[in-house]
Structure 1
Amino acid sequence: MSQPTKRDADTAFEGNHIGDSQKPKRQRRRRSGKVEVTDTPSLLNATPSPAALKTTPSNDSKNPTSKIKDEITPETASSGSKPKKQIPTKTPTKGPTSKHNSEGSSQKVKGVEAALNKRRDGKPKALTNTNEHKKKPKPLESEPGHIQSHLTSTDGEQSEKSESKSKVLVNELTTEGKAVKSKRPRKRKVTLLKDRETSIENQKVEQLAGEDRSDQIVKNKQKRQLTKQKSKVVAQSKTQESNLKGSGFRLSSGNGGMFIDQDPILTADDQYLILPTHSEIRVYSTKTSLLVRGFQVDNRSDITSCSLSKVDPKKLYVSTSKGLVSLWDWTTAAAIGKYDTGDGLRQVIPLSQQEAKETILVLKDDVQGPKRLAAYSVNTFQGTFTESKTVLQRTNLSPCIRSCADGNVLLACVEDQLLIGHCQATTEGHSDLSYTWREITLPGFITSFDAQVNEGKSKTSRKVPFLDVAVGLNDGVIMLYEDILFKLIGKEKKNKASTDDIVGRRLHWHRTAVNTVKWSRDRNYIVSGGNETVLVIWQLDSNQRQYLPHLSTPILNLSVSAAGSSYALRLGDNSVMILSTADLLPSTNVCGLALGLTQKNSSLIVLHPNVQGRLLAAVPSDAAATGPFHGRYATLLQVYDIETNVQAGRQALTRNMVTASNAAPTGQPVKEPTVTHIAISHDGRWLATVDEWQPNAQDLDSMYIRADRPDLRHQSTETSLRLWLWNEENNNFEQVTRVDEPHTAGTNSVLGMSFDPTKVELATIGSDATVRIWSPKARHRNGVSVRNKANEQLYTWSCSRTIRCDHDTPLGPEGIEARATSAALAYSDDGSVVAAAWFWPETRSKLSLEPPGATFKPSRTRFVHLIDPSTGRIAFSEPSLLSRTSSAAKLLFHSRYLICLSQTLTILDTITNRLVSSPLQLDEQYVPPRSWSPFYLAKNKFDGTIALCVSRSEKPRGTKLVLLGLSGDSSGGPSVQVKVLYESSFTAMVKGLLALTTGPGYLVIDERNQYRFVRPSTGVFTKSVGGGKETEQVTRSLDDILGRQGLLGPAASATHGELAALPPSTADEHVGARGGLDAVLRFPSSAQVPTPTELFQRVVGVLAQGGETEVE
């Protein structure tokens, strides 16, 4: 290493500046004496002890002088010139540094000597402003090898031995650092410290004098290499952590969802319809049935009720499940005021008004005690809430409280008791909130009620209002009581505790519970609805009934407009309909996503492969209804646009009881077939469904005897495989083929199915351990092809191949093969391989009870079979992907890798037959057997990511969503690395996870039918995983641009051979090219149109991505 060049002492320690007021005094101190430099060869690489770190001055860390090593430039600088920046080199030494060395001027010879002495000592401590040291410095020529050694070890650390030996010296120097900070130097103390330092340093010099300098250089080089490697590892770990936190993916907030259980709100002018969901308030236009605006109230809790203010109809009260009551201006979606009550709220009711103040009632839900109805005074201008008093406190109080007569009369119900509260108005006409409660017991449980004050009769001189009440019971009876309050008060005056002689009018037509009942505005009619899908209008004067049948779904809630000209009905399929009272014709229809209960091992939702945001779901007709049999039977196909939150179509998939009686002669409900599986082809033209129907157990008693095996009764189940073809003329799917019992008859005979991603071919997997391949054949009659009216070829589907995989099937009692309870099936990306796996129930305990002579073939391992669908040959069976305790799994191909999700996540390289290590460890609380919630696995072909979703069934319930990326090894080898790209968790359970088919990202749907998008936040992707360029769509028709296309888009209108003839890469290119401007320029309504600046930025971003694709 080259020898150090000379440099002035001021230049060697540039960068330390002190205040101008102390400059002259410290310069005089420096000129007044000389300093002494003591040889401390071990100080340069000494590591401070914890005690030294505690006693080090705080300004030491900010002082770059303590980090500057012996690096001297040939330039010099005076005290008046600007200091030149030095590049500090990190060193573990942290000792005292004098602030006075960076100021003032000194002689050139002193500066050179001081600089050289600094290189020997490794610390600038000798340049402190003390007048005590006046000895001349020792000549440096006597130890040239020592200086050479320290110049060589500038960038490295000394060995641990030298570091441990120098701790005492560092502590002493740290103590000296405090003395340096004082304004006046303490000569005696510094002298003692210098003497101790000299003695200790001399000892260190003697110990290190005999060490070999070449060995020291080698050790320093090795340490420098280790330091560099550690820094690289730390940098890589930090990069991975930053990629995990900000990888470019974002989970959107919940959209859509189920409408809450309350009456729809119509504004006074009948122009707007306000419908709350569990997450937001949605305002619709009654003229167009489109969303005008929506706003979220609280992200941490669910909305329980909302009601319009009586002071200002533009203001809306909203209550949440965690005790937040708020006041909003629904015309601008602006919050006026919020108040936390501390308890969960079930209902909010505006009561009365007094100029700018309004009194409201909130029903508080106390888990440990009775429910409490409390009154609050609200300043509607300032948005402040003040609690007044408790009005009512009862156990099991239902959240259906009504108020009448400007708040002077309240009605509530508890099971079979109707509570009526009455308070006398003050002289000023206001209520004092002191209610007298009276009860009446009804002959059944109350399911709904409504009340109205007869204004014509109330104009008399008596103080008690004429209150008429209609009560709906759980047995279908409607009880009508006229002037009920006056009769109850009369009973009290006669000292009669019983109310049996208060007889109401009995109206009975409904077979089941009356879900809703309402008075008309003219008080001449009563409107009711129930599970019979019929709206009943009762004419009280003539005792006649008028019906509006075939609504196809139960009626849950009903409200009458202020003018009495329309009815707003909330139906069981998560929709709201507004009917005109004149002709009972619908004028407004708002539909939400109507998914039913979650299937255990299947998902009943698919995304259209060619139309953006088009969701196809098998839904029940009563998804929003409550009861033991509601929401279980998926009989309808709902085509839903998730981008605009609008229903695009609806049709039947099975036979149903929509237009017929749903009750048997014995009174029990008739079961409907339910769709258990759904799949769509790669071109979007073919739809496959599997439905299953099982009769009531009572109907099978006469067909079997007690000696028959129980499994014979399950063979009465009817299973059908249906193939549907899209009809462009009628905008719906038409059934082409129905296959009865596609697998061995029995319950859950079909456990899964999947379409070939490259051609029109379907594979089904059954409980009989077989895989069957289905393919269409052209219809011919007498050698002539059969065509429809549009001259299109007609097809018939049939089984082309059956593949048996029963070699590992266990045998049950009496030597009968056991039936699988669940299975997994997946096609490879090129359609050349089918992966299949079965799961059988545990039969070990049952087998041990059988006689010794019985033979059994229990399954010891869970195999995943790789099958060639063209020949039906099992190419390979892998036993290491599934554990022996697995009860279900999801399979997915990603290029050459087979991904299996069960109790663990395993990845198999199908070419090398080796498992790929995964960094993801699934929580035991979210996978079987701890959790029985379904789990999901999906792959996006545009960005090459993999998403998995697991849920926890026990409380506290929650869901974890993880996105993974598979990338090649950095060394260039055939191995792959699995990285976690994104991870999120939320409290809701999940019904489905789907990969977006027209762009990168995923769709997540929770148990309340709220859907969220997981999309990259870095922009619009224009490339698929395969790397091929996307062909830009140059010409587009007006119908395509303006959205005037068929229900499933122009892709479905192609002839039968067009899209099927295209290779997969070409079809994907057309799909990817459509995703850009369509996604940016598509708005569900005028209220959701962004600002011009934001719209311009979106369009420019999409065009920029397209330009980059062309350049590439």
Structure 2
Amino acid sequence: MTQALVHQKYKLAVVSGGKPVLPRVSNRSSSSKTVTCLTHDKANYIVPFNNQIKIYSIETRQCVKTIKFANNETLSKIFHSNEVMVSHISLGDLSDPEDEKYDKITVITNIGDIVVLNYKGKLIEEPKTWKFNELEVDEEVLKVFRNKDQVNVLTSKNKFSPSCSYELYQYSEKKLTSIKSYSNVVISCWSLNEQFLCVLSKDQEKKKTLYVDSIFGDNFHRSFPLPLSGNASGSSNTHFVNVMALDNSCMNLAIGFASGVINVINLEDLSSRILKWHIDSVLSLCFTSDGSYLLSGGWEKVLSFWQLSTNMQQFLPRLNGVIVDVDVVEDKYYSLSLQLAENQTNCDYQLLLLNSSDLTSRLCINGPLCVFRTMVKDVIQPMSAVNSKLSTSSNNLHKLRKKQQRKLLKRKRQDFTCNMEINPLSKHLYFPHISAVQVYDFYKNEQVSYQYLASGINNSMGKVRLELNLRDPMISEVKFTKDGKWMITSEIEYPPEDLLSSNDLVYVLKFWTMNSNSEWTLKTKVINPHGVHAPITEILMAPRVINNSYGCLTADNNGGLKYWSFNNVTKSWSLTRVSLPNVNHFSNSVALAWSLDGSLIFHAFDEKVSVLDFNTFSKLDNDSPSILNEITLDSAVQSLILVNDRNLIIATQTTLNSVNLLSYKVENSFDLYPFVNGVYKNGDLSRLISYDESSGRVALVVNQLPQGEKGKPALQYSSSVVVFDSDLTTKLGIFQHDEYISCIRWNYDTDFIFVDIQCRLGVVSTTTSTEMLDELNREGALDALQSNEFEAQLKKLSGGQRERDHAMGEIGEEDAVFEFINGDNSDKLINMNSFTSMFENIDNVQMDTLFDRVMRVIT
């Protein structure tokens, strides 16, 4: 087979995933973090992701359209880097205010690129684009304000410094004209109606002054010193402003301090009143349109409503994450941006759209929630009054980013892998997320469920101040039986810090089954299954021949091995067999493999692989030279894969080997060290190797070390996916990806699914539809039905039917635009809406299935 044919057989594409973007979250000077947009008809909600723009139907709670950046050549050039984000979304065409069409949006990036897109119908191949050419190199678009035909643009420079500079421009005839400048800006905010701007500035003597101006030049200007928070404490948090909010009438200004105090200032007489409830930093503030209520949120995971006229307070508690932003959308909805801050390795954001009348959830938006082994770049934790691993304090706010960049550049060995498993029954992706597990549908590109599997403080309430240092239990492994009906999890419980028992971790093994409500129910729980202080280093599910796969092996770091099985009489899981551990040898390099007939177990411990008899849990008899019972490798074993019961794939820290179990010889070996450079921690290389159990093909991910200009290290990774045959003799394909791949898994069909550090999901496939591989929108097929070409074809079909009917003397009417395709249903008309329901779930549908759906509609 030639290389060209091989590449035609396998294809790689990034088709799903991504995470919501909060473009202003890295800009400390902006109180507003989120960029979203409600459509003209108030029926759809537009949300930018790091790889696409998604439009959600508020009524159906589903994504109805996806504008992927990789679909379009223009968009792929604009969003060529992870540093380029959507900074503003405006309804209509910004270059043509008189355009009355309600199917366009104008998207503006932080570097000044502007593109006009259709959010209804088919995406234009060459959309209208232009750029703010007047911007300087380090100048970024912060916000765009519109007032009828007037457009003003607010930009910022030096956003990572303690104080940045602002510039307010007037935009007309595609040119920017400077109106006003602000220097040494600490923080800013603007009113909901986008008429007023408030800026907190600090002079050289560290005196803080508030400036309130009209955005569209109505000669309204106020300036006055920043009042104190009302807290008598001498702490720096007392004077540190975290967030501000300005009402639409420019009558009240709310200032949230890091100490938890909110100061509401009357701008007419500069009188103020103090609102106290938060016990940690106030992270979000917003006035309602009429100014009667003030909304606030923070670490408590509680949305607080302050009725300003009566000083009454109401709450919406038990939200999923820290409230980093709150906004009022068209007086009809409250938009909340939550950060799931328990994950220290990544920024996990969730967007909520609440009905303002009854506070019911209308939309819940997030991408895959990945927990990486090492913190990825650009992780920004919310502000807190205390310094902890989950938060950023006011003292080290501006040093944190530089410190994180230096740390990543200094380390030569990085491990950004994450854990992902696929359920064999539902094909859903499972991501362990601290104390919970996220279930994600790869094909629908949406979260199915989010369920807490371990009990902790974070599950029942928010953690504030010193409670942030208390670690919640962490799910380390998720496995499934071959039929997908049982789930086995391993978790670690952490004691409080600064105690004699702080290092005494508790390891828990749990067995779950699915109930009628599609939730996992705990059936058996085992505490410290391998003894006190003995971690679970590996879990391997039994093949189908062993108790219908209702069994599993667990291994520890001392060479111990235990077999657990399901008892049909007691309806619970129990320990069945034990292999005693080694008393003086410890290693976290542990891997397991199981033969398909269930007779042999391959147990890798450090640099040795032992072949065990499953019935006795002992090594095979070594008296016969024809029996292989132990293999010694060059370095610690990272992963074991038994392919077709014939080849044992062994991945060590330096090599990838294929051992023929019939001849006891190493058939093929590849040197991994020049590529991976030993960057993965013990056992994590197994996350980057997967194999197709039906064909025996093996997929290996190789992440390249970054290289910047002139040989200096950079933070932009690249990767390759290499697909081998079952004995590693032939490379079936080598595919490039522009980002670090964190995990790859076989989907129990014909595809390999992977996730990268941008939380994007991709596929290496042989059978996935062309629409998915080419990253086409699911609306593309529906748009074709609405086109003139389809109408012409339908007329041609109906015309042919009319001619036949005329020949038989059955029809004499000539004025029908659409005639009937099937004579048995002579009362059934077909129009452009007849096929709408057919395309509600068209992802990954084969051609014969699609034809059957069409026939059901027209017959």
TM exceeds 0.5? yes
- Mean Cα deviation higher: 315-324 or 761-770: 315-324
1:326 corresponds to which residue? 115
Matched AA of 1:337: T
Measure, in 1, the Cα distance between the counterparts of 2:463 and 2:336.
24
Residue 956 of structure 1 corresponds to 715
State whether structure 2 residue 130 is matched by structure 1 residue 358.
no
**Within the alignment, does 1:308 sit opposite 2:90 as a pair?**
yes
Q: Is 1:448 the counterpart of 2:243 in the alignment?
A: yes
| Contiguous gaps of at least 5 residues in structure 1 | 1-238, 455-465, 488-501, 620-633, 704-712, 780-793, 810-816, 840-861, 968-975, 1021-1081, 1104-1112
**Equivalent residues of 1:309, 1:350 under 8 A apart:** no
Once residues 866 and 603 of structure 1 are traced to their aligned partners in structure 2, the CA distance between those partners, rounded to angstroms, is 29
Are 2:572 and 1:796 equivalent residues in the alignment? yes
Answer whether contact 1:321 1:344 (CA < 8 A) is retained: no
Q: Could you say what secondary structure the match of 2:370 adopts?
A: coil
Alpha carbons 1:315, 1:329 under 8 Å: kept: yes
After superposition, what is the alpha-carbon deviation per residue over 1:772-807, rounded to whole angstroms, capped at 9, x for unaligned? 11112233xxxxxxxxxxxxxx5222221222463x
Aligned to 1:889: 638
Describe how 1:84-483 pairs up with structure 2 within 5 A: 240-243=2-5, 245-260=7-22, 261=25, 262-263=33-34, 264-267=36-39, 269-295=41-67, 296=69, 297-298=75-76, 299-302=79-82, 303-308=85-90, 316-320=105-109, 324-332=113-121, 333-334=123-124, 335-339=127-131, 343=137, 347-353=141-147, 355=149, 358-364=151-157, 373-374=166-167, 385-389=174-178, 391-392=180-181, 402=190, 409-411=197-199, 420-421=210-211, 440=226, 443-454=238-249, 466-483=250-267
Return closer, same or farther for 1:304/1:732 CA change in 2, 3 Å cut-off: same
Q: Distance in 2 between matches of 1:667 and 1:771?
A: 37
**Are residues 1:870 and 2:615 paired?**
yes
CA shift, 1:545, in A, is 1.0
- CA shift for structure 1 position 316: 4.0
In the other structure, the counterpart of 1:152 is none
1:1004 touches 1:1012 (CA, 8 Å); kept in 2? yes
Query: Shift of the alpha carbon at 1:764?
Result: 0.7
Distance in 2 (CA, whole Å) between partners of 1:405 and 1:651 is 39
Q: Quote the residue 2:521 is aligned against.
A: 734
User: Per-residue deviation at 1:652?
Assistant: 2.3
1:912 counterpart = 2:727: no
Of 1004-1013 and 442-451, the range deviating more from structure 2: 442-451
* CA pair 605-377 structure 1, distance change in 2 beyond 3 A: same
The 3 A distance-change label for structure 1 pair 880 and 393 is farther
What is the alpha-carbon distance in structure 2 between the residues aligned to residue 916 and residue 323 of structure 1?
56
Cα RMSD of the aligned pairs, angstroms, is 4.1
1:964 CA drift (Å) = 2.2
Give the structure 1 partner of residue 805 of structure 2: none
Contact 1:374 1:388 in 2 (8 A): no
Give the 3 Å change call, closer, same or farther, for CA 948–376 of structure 1 in structure 2: farther
Match of residue 647 from structure 1? 447
Secondary structure, aligned partner of 1:616:
strand
Measure how far apart 1:309 and its partner are.
5.0
Deviation at 1:411, TM superposition (A): 3.3
Cα displacement (A) at 1:385: 3.9
Matched with 1:104 is none
Q: 1:611-636 deviations in whole A, cap 9, x for unaligned?
A: 2x4122322xxxxxxxxxxxxxx112
Q: How does 1:661-740 map to 2 (within 5 A)?
A: 661=461, 663=463, 669-698=469-498, 700-701=499-500, 714=503, 716-727=504-515, 729-740=516-527
Contact 1:773 1:869 in 2 (8 A): no
1:765 partnered with 2:555 = yes
Larger % of helix: which?
A: 1
Q: Give, as a single letter, the amino acid of the residue that structure 2 aligns with 1:507.
A: L
Q: Residues 579 and 318 from structure 1, CA distance in 2 versus in 1: closer, same or farther, beyond 3 angstroms?
A: same
One-letter amino acid of the counterpart of residue 350, structure 1: V
Aligned length: 677
Structure 1 residue 1087, shift from structure 2 partner: 7.6
User: Residue 539 in 1 paired to residue 307 in 2?
Assistant: yes
Equivalent residue for 1:993, pick from 724, 728, 744: 744
Per the alignment, residue 780 of structure 2 pairs with: none
Alpha-carbon displacement from aligned partner over 1:496-533 (angstroms, at most 9, x marks no partner) = xxxxxx66422221222222111011211111122222
Q: Residue 396 and residue 949 in structure 1: after superposition, are their counterparts in 2 closer, same or farther (change >3 A)? A: farther
Counterpart position of 2:428: 614
Determine whether 1:824 maps to 2:591.
yes
What is the aligned partner in structure 2 of residue 567 from structure 1? Answer: 334
Query: Partners of 2:573 and 2:278 in 1: how far apart?
Result: 45
Could you say if the C-alpha distance between residues 412 and 568 of structure 1 is closer, same or farther in structure 2, counting changes exceeding 3 Å? same
Q: How does 1:542-557 map to 2 (within 5 A)?
A: 542-557=310-325
Q: Distance in 2 between matches of 1:762 and 1:586?
A: 40
> What are the superposed Cα offsets for residues 453-504 of structure 1, whole Å, 9 maximum, x if unpaired?
42xxxxxxxxxxx442212232322222221xx67xxxxxxxxxxxxxx664
Contact 2:416/2:742 (CA < 8 Å) preserved in 1?
Answer: no
Query: How far, CA to CA, are the matches of 1:396 and 1:430 in structure 2?
Result: 20
In 2, are the aligned partners of 1:397 and 1:414 still within 8 Å (CA)?
yes
777 and 981 in structure 1: CA distance in 2 versus 1, 3 angstrom threshold:
same
Which amino acid is 1:567 matched to? Y
Distance 2:284 2:56 in 1: 23
Partner of 1:510: 278
The residue identity in structure 1 corresponding to 2:591 is A
Q: 1:258–1:593: 8 Å Cα contact kept in structure 2?
A: no
The residue aligned with 2:831 is none
| Equivalent position of 1:210 in the other structure | none
SS at match of 2:4: helix
Cα 1:368–1:567 change in 2 (3 A) is closer
Distance in 2, Cα, partners of 1:725 & 1:409:
55
- Partner Cα distance (1:559, 1:324) in 2: 25
TM-score, with length taken from structure 2 = 0.70
The letter for the 1-side match of 2:665 is R
CA deviations 1:309-349 (Å, max 9, x no partner) are 59668654434466634343434555332327674675442
Cα distance, 1:275 vs structure 2: 1.3
Equivalent pairs: percent with the same residue? 18
Cα displacement (A) at 1:963? 2.7
Mapped partners of 1:642, 1:1018: distance in 2: 12
Aligned AA (1:894): V
Structure 1 residue 978 corresponds to structure 2 residue 729: yes
What are the superposed Cα offsets for residues 913-951 of structure 1, whole Å, 9 maximum, x if unpaired? Answer: 211224x55463533159998651101234432112243
Does the CA-based 8 Å contact 1:346-1:365 persist in structure 2? no
> 2:490–2:536: 8 Å Cα contact kept in structure 1?
yes
- Give the Cα separation in 1 of the matches to 2:596 and 2:139: 51
1:1057 maps to what in 2?
none
Contact kept? 1:927, 1:951, Cα under 8 Å: no
TM-score by length of 1: 0.55
Q: 1:694 to 1:435 in 2, by over 3 A?
A: same
How far 1:293 moved relative to its partner?
1.3
Structure 1 residue matching 2:457: 3-state secondary structure: coil
C-alpha spacing 1:1009/1:915, structure 2 compared with 1 (3 Å): same
> How far has the Cα of 1:664 moved from its partner?
9.1
**Structure 2: how far apart are the matches of 1:450 and 1:581?**
19
Contact 1:534 1:550 in 2 (8 A): yes
Conservation of the 8 A alpha-carbon contact between 2:145 and 2:152: yes
SS in 2 for 1:242: helix
Change (3 A) 1:953 1:766: farther
Is the 1:767–1:819 contact (alpha carbons within 8 Å) kept by the matching residues of 2? yes
Q: Which has the larger radius of gyration?
A: 1
